[in-house]
Structure 1
Amino acid sequence: MVTTYWKKSGQPMLIGNEDQIAAWQNDASSFIWIDIQYTGMDQQWVGELLSSLNCNALAVKDVLRTRHPPKIELFQDQTFILYRGISDVINELEYNHQQIGFFINDRYLVTVHPEHSMGISQIIQLDSLTDYIEEPMLLALKIMHKSSDTYLSNMLNFEDELGLQEDALLAGEGERHMAALAGYRIKLLRLKRIFNYHQQMFAEFCSHANDDKASFIQLSKHEHYLTDVYERFERIYSLSSLYYEMCSDMVEGYISISSHQQNVSMRVLTVITAIFVPLSFLAGLYGMNFDNIPELHHPNAYYVLLSTMFIISFALIVLFKRKKWI
């Protein structure tokens, strides 16, 4: 599906399809946003359409691939951005991601993606969309800014969930929450990789703000907004790293507490065993079936043995208490 947003200078924006592209090409003073959702479309036709707009051939191949790391490339008369967008939010840490390609010129913006895009849908609903059409770079940054809003708000909401998990661990309910924490770590690790790509990409983008190579799109004019998007992804990456470390610390803390409790239990059992070993030895010694055990025929042998066993037990208990083992 191809949706176009065409605007002549001083006139209202017109929404249409690929038929508007020819009219835009014939009017050098007009601007256009071409949004291509190519699922179910002939990719060869999409490639030919992009080529007719002078899009770089290798960039076209990258945008039509199923997966490719986010990146930015500056060409002579065009900027290409490959961005990891959102088609749907499952929960705070899970998203249905898709890659979105941005081809940006001083007169047009082309967005290419396989599925519905949340960021693009949010921009379309803005009343100020007609003003952004004449600023293709700003429009692209606005779309990515909307995605970063979704990421950031969900990451901040997840902080409350982490607080609940921490309270549960302190309350001794860690056994039921360990699986959830392990799952959070896996999801956060995946998000960290995505956010790290975006952070590095926008850092590189900011470094080109005043380059002559980027002057055709007047990137320096949008430097403030570009920096804002970069700082958002830097913060999102920092939060994902922080939450990953917090989950790891909680898991390791619970394991350490469990290990300590197990050591305490083993120490108590060891002390009990140490007390009863000499008593079991004496009981076994005098329980042997030999005729000639002189102590067995002593009139007070029973009381002497019990006293000996009591003294041994008492002495061991005193020794263990002094060593603070019990």
Structure 2
Amino acid sequence: MNHQSVKMKRSLYVPLVLFAGIIVLQFLPFVRADSVQSVPAKPLAGVPEEINAILEKSCFDCHSSQSNLSWYDKIVPLDYFVNGHIAKGRAALDFSKWDSLENPARNNLLYYSLNKILEGEMPLKSYSYIHADNKPTENDIAVLKRYLTERTPRKAFDPELVLDSNENLNSPKAVEKIIVAANANGIEYIPEYKDWKLISFSDRFDNATMRLIYANDIAVKAIEENRVKPWPDGAIFAKAAWKSRSNADGTLSTGEFFQVEFMIKDAQKFKSSLGWGWARWRGKDLKPYGGKAILTTECTNCHKPLKENDYVFTKPFLLKNLN
């Protein structure tokens, strides 16, 4: 036997030994990951059967109590990754909690899910690679978009309605006439936000609002220097929202002022609420919204899925090299 043949045989030993080791591991129960419990999830109440079918196929395995694992999902050590992904997925978003949610929260859940699909973040590429049949098709996505648009229709604009909300929001004199009370958690209203830099905007078709997002100097500097994971203490975002109106020509424009809300970063002061202080004022009279517990719970529950982005939904405009 020549030297080359011996070398080739030896080169086969490593993969053969690894393969044999993996086979042996399958019969050793103590090396298996603790399987996540799977309980059949109920169809989402008030949601058409077609939409339920799409969500169940593409989302429920990791985002509900129901996980249909294939035989290859149970192979050691892949089962550690699979069960870990499911546990994280349920913690971030769980459709099994649908019945406990109010309708606005349900709309937000659907809106968030669709956006993650459109952004290409969900399903995870590692999941889609193995479960290609579960990935939402272009038709599935179109059906979801159409359904959400119909679920939260925009109200037609009434030309006889005098809308002075924009003036009330942007006129210093108008604001000076309003005595704005502090939020229930002690956070004071910040009228200067209107002079901050605009860093993004969003059209929330799930609740028919159009939003402008402003950032203070600390947040703007963090964006310029790409220091946003996490955001530095002192960074503040203001999100002003108007009800969107559908015009006769099919275009959209801002209607009645809806609310302004703030996210204030202080990792220690607001440690119990994801490191952010949350505050919201509603209507033209800027009335503080909700009690401390209600406001904080609503905001943190909504933002928890964005842990990897320091709980911030906004993707700011590129602000580098502007000087």
Task: Specify if TM > 0.5.
Answer: no
Higher helix share: 1
TM-score when normalising by structure 1: 0.20
TM-score when normalising by structure 2: 0.21
